[in-house]
Structures are given as C-alpha cells and as structure tokens.
Copies of this chain bind each other. A is one copy, B any other.
Amino acid sequence: MRYFLELGYLGSPFYGWQRQPDRPTVQQSVEQALATLLQEPVEVVGAGRTDTGVHAAYYVAHADFARPVEDAEQLLYKLNRLLPVAIVAHRLTPVAETAHARFSAVEREYRYFVEPRKNPFTQAMRWQYTVPLDVGRMNEAARCLLETDDFTTFAKLNSNNTTNRCSVRRAAWERGTEGELRFTIRADRFLRNMVRAIVGTLVDVGRGRYTAEEFRAIVAARDLSLASTGAPAQGLFLSDVRYPPELFERGVARTRDFADTKTLFY
C-alpha cells in the first residue's frame, strides 16, 4: 500500500532531507517515527533533496506500508507527537502504486526571504541583508529566467545532473509592508544549488553591481564562475510540489495557511 505524506519542516536542526550516517536528517526522523508506529521498517522517498538548513513549508514523500492504514488521523496524531518539534506531518493519503513523490512531480516552487533589518524572531528563516535593494531592477532581470531553459550558470560543479534544462514558469520578487522581500520561483525541476545561486546573483543586481542586461548575459554565458555567491540556506523554503491531478492533489497545509493570513505574530 503506497501513501503520500505531506510534511513541513524547519531546516535549522537538520543536515538536509536525505539520510546520512550519524547526522540528523528529516528523512531519517520520519522513517524512524513511522517504523516505531507501524512496527515495521519503513523507507520514505522524498520529492527532492533539500540542503542543510533549507526549510520546507510544504513537502511530499511517499512510503509503502505492509498493511493499509485503518485510521489515518490517529496515525498522524501519533506521528506528530513522535516527530521532533521541527517537523509537522499534515496529511496521509493512499495513492496508486505508480505514484512517486519524486518522479511523478511536475512542478516545484521555492520561496526565498530577505529581511532588511535585524530581527531575532525571524532570523532563523531569513537572510538579513541591510544593503538597500532595487526590487524593480531585480524583477526586470528575473524576467529573463522565463525565457531561457538552460540553467548551467546556476548549476553546481560536479553535480550529477544529466541535463541543466529547466522550464521556469514564475520568477518574481515582492516587497512586504515592513520592507521584507520574497522571491517566488516555480519550475518543472530545479538543479542543485540553483535557487540560492539565482537569488545571490539577483541581489547583486538589486544592490547595483549588475544591470538587468548584464544579468541576462550572465545567464546566457552558461558559465558557473559568473554566478554570485549563493544566498544563505536559512532564507530558502521549498513551498510547493505539484503532481498530475489524477495522481495526487495537495491538501490544505497548515504551515501555508499560517503564512498567508494576517496573524498575531508576537
């Protein structure tokens, strides 16, 4: 019996998603909690690897259980009690045996946050960057990401990607009421390191180091050495994973609800 598990996690305490010997990871935490509850070894396959310190406001993993789950709500309740505070399980849904958390995904979305001031309450989830940034210019530059499909400039050296082709469907910066910036990028797939390298280079556009035209030339050059230093991990959230609707539809994720509404923050 295959299930999709919708999750959210704070990346700070983990060495990324993927299981590693002797280091805490999200995958290992989820597998261990499920194995304890189901009394059987469980392997969990994630929608993608997130790096050390990167968060997931939304994440999907699949697992095969020996027996069907009788009461998914009760299992979720117990799972949330057993998992570390930094991981929340939102929903457990039976899916077709052919549904695969990683290979069936057709679109992913990441968000990156830049905060212009020191803030102790959000610092674990923001890049605190005090140099003023020109958002208009950053958006002008970001538009060229929609017009290319070769992201070699933002790939990682020696990564084992078979291709550097991605189809970016959205790439835009927004400014919040307190001056904080949010970058949203959606694509069919992402290369390792890609979002942080794009953000780092766009921030260099925003501060005036490059023009939008120069950014376009950097992308077109397909040269890794031209990308700026990657933006720090703690500002990055995986925020969506989409599947063909006949395979799986996203449930209501509480971490998203919290974020998208006016809330009593402190």
A266 touching B57 by the CB < 8 A rule?
A: yes
Compute how far the CA of A122 lies from the CA of B88 in the bound complex, rounded to whole angstroms. Answer: 12
> In the complex the two chains form, is A266's CB within 8 Å of B255's CB?
yes
Q: Does A111 count as interface, using CB distance less than 8 angstroms?
A: yes
Q: Is A120 an interface residue (CB 8 A)?
A: yes
The CA-CA distance from A124 to B122 in the complex, in Å, is 11
CB distance from A128 to the nearest CB of B (A): 8
**Copies of this polypeptide in the complex:** 2
A266 interface neighbour in B117, B121, B123, B237, Cβ under 8 Å: B237
| A175 to chain B: closest residue by CB | B264
A132–B117 Cα distance when bound, in Å, is: 36
Question: Is A97 close to B, CB under 8 A?
Answer: no
Of B124, B239, B263, the residue contacting A180 (CB under 8 A) is B263
B87, B121, B124: which contacts A55 (Cβ < 8 A)? B121
Shortest Cβ distance from A176 into B: residue: B264
Interface 1/0s, chain A 254-266, versus B by CB < 8 A?
1111111111111
Residues of B within 8 A of A239 (CB): 266
A244 to B28, CA, bound (A): 56
Given the complex of chains A and B, what is the CA–CA distance between A113 and B8 in angstroms?
A: 21
Instruction: Say whether B255 contacts A86, CB under 8 Å.
Output: no
Question: Known contacts A86-B120, A118-B85, A255-B120: does B263 contact A265 (CB below 8 Å)?
Answer: yes
Q: Is A32 an interface residue (CB 8 A)?
A: no
Chain B: minimal CB distance from A181 (Å): 8
A121 to B111, CA, bound (A): 15
- A residues in contact (CB < 8 Å) with B: 8-10, 55, 57, 80, 85-88, 111, 113, 117-125, 128, 174, 176-178, 180, 182, 237, 239, 254-266
Name 18 A/B residue pairs within 8 A (Cβ), A-sorted: A10-B121, A55-B121, A55-B266, A86-B120, A88-B119, A113-B264, A117-B254, A119-B258, A176-B262, A176-B263, A177-B262, A178-B258, A178-B261, A180-B264, A182-B264, A261-B262, A263-B265, A265-B265
